[in-house]
Amino acid sequence: MRVLFLCLLGSVLAARSSFAQKSEPIVVATYNLRYNNKGDGVNAWPNRKENVKALIRFHEFDIFGTQEALRDQLNDVAELNEFAFFGAGRDDGKEAGEHSAIFYKKDRFKIRDSGNFWLSETPDKPGKGWDATCCNRICSWARFTDLNTRKDFFFFSVHFDHQGVEARRQSGKLMVEKIKEIAKSQPVILVGDLNSTPETEQVKTIQTLLNDTHNVTEQPPYGPEGTFNSFKFEAPMDKRIDYIFVSKQFDVLKYGVLTDAKEQRYPSDHQPVMVKVVMK
């Protein structure tokens, strides 16, 4: 009888373990933090960084991409000591300039591989692409192992150009090419500020490979449609330019555009987008 009981107990524990490996949710987010600009006055980074950190911790992000942040801003966010981050400055591939960084919970995820590329005709070195005139644009990526499920996936964080129409169009094509090259058929999460609304060619190009989580969430999308507020509390927020895309290996349980504010001030000029996903 004791042997039978132990066998049954072992079967139950094994079943629970198997179920947990298949169904562990991941809270994913993308957040354009607005670069550290003293000219923003009351909305400058020193006046809002604690609100950014509080938002991240309250909503219990597991892994998220950031855009625009300079190195000092990333170091401030990393004061949330449950997180580590990876990313390179767009100006030199090291620490200079804005980053498209990836933050992840250290006790849940382990980086197995990582890299960066630029949104240009020469993606292996810093530079502007096509009709972009302002800035270099960078994408950072990493291959992670989820230590809770022992499953691997790729995560990409990117920021498209805000001026160059052709640069945005070609960046969509480049993202599809690079994701296929780097991740092949493995699970993929792509997050970023695309400076593009859903009907544009570049967003549709990405959707030939990945699902827009806004469109495939099991629960109805939460919050406003738009993701840009320009630091105006009464902004209409009707233009969706920040995205989370996932490959077919993920189910999207819920999707939301978060509108947290303190004293009628937003923590950034973009709203964070958050999803809860499960890898099949």
Interatomic CA distance for residues 124 and 138, integer angstroms: 10
214 confidence band (pLDDT: 50, 70, 90): very high
- 224 within a domain of the structure (yes/no): yes
Secondary-structure percent of the chain, ordered helix, strand, coil, rounded to 5: 30, 30, 45
Residue 256 above 70 pLDDT?
Answer: yes
- 16 within a domain of the structure (yes/no): no
21 confidence band (pLDDT: 50, 70, 90): low
If you write DSSP's letter for every residue of 89-117 in order, what string do you get?
A: BTTTSSSSS-B--EEEETTTEEEEEEEEE
Read off the tokens for 23: 């169904």
17 confidence band (pLDDT: 50, 70, 90): very low
Cβ neighbours of residue 275 under 8 Å, at least 6 residues apart?
27, 28, 29, 213, 217, 244, 246, 252, 253, 254, 255, 256
Task: Give the per-residue pLDDT at 89.
Answer: 98
Number of domains in the chain: 1
Task: Give the per-residue pLDDT at 201.
Answer: 99
Residue 276 above 70 pLDDT?
Answer: yes
- 5 within a domain of the structure (yes/no): no
What residues make up the domain containing 152? 24-279
- 13 within a domain of the structure (yes/no): no
Cβ neighbours of residue 36 under 8 Å, at least 6 residues apart?
44, 45, 69, 70, 72, 73
- 228 within a domain of the structure (yes/no): yes
Cβ 244 vs Cβ 211: under 8 Å: no
- 240 within a domain of the structure (yes/no): yes
23 confidence band (pLDDT: 50, 70, 90): confident
User: Domain with 77 in it: what CATH number?
Assistant: 3.60.10.10
- What's the pLDDT tens digit per position in 131-188? 999 999 999 999 999 999 999 999 999 999 999 999 999 999 999 999 999 999 999 9
If you write DSSP's letter for every residue of 36-85 in order, what string do you get?
A: --GGGGGGSGGGTHHHHHHHHHHTT-SEEEEES--HHHHHHHTTSTTEEE
Cβ neighbours of residue 263 under 8 Å, at least 6 residues apart?
none
- 195 within a domain of the structure (yes/no): yes
Beta-sheet pairing, 250-257 with 102-105: unpaired
Tell which wins on pLDDT, 2 or 122. Answer: 122
Task: Give the per-residue pLDDT at 3.
Answer: 45
Cβ 16 vs Cβ 145: under 8 Å: no
- 212 within a domain of the structure (yes/no): yes
Residue 200 above 90 pLDDT?
Answer: yes
Interatomic CA distance for residues 98 and 159, integer angstroms: 10
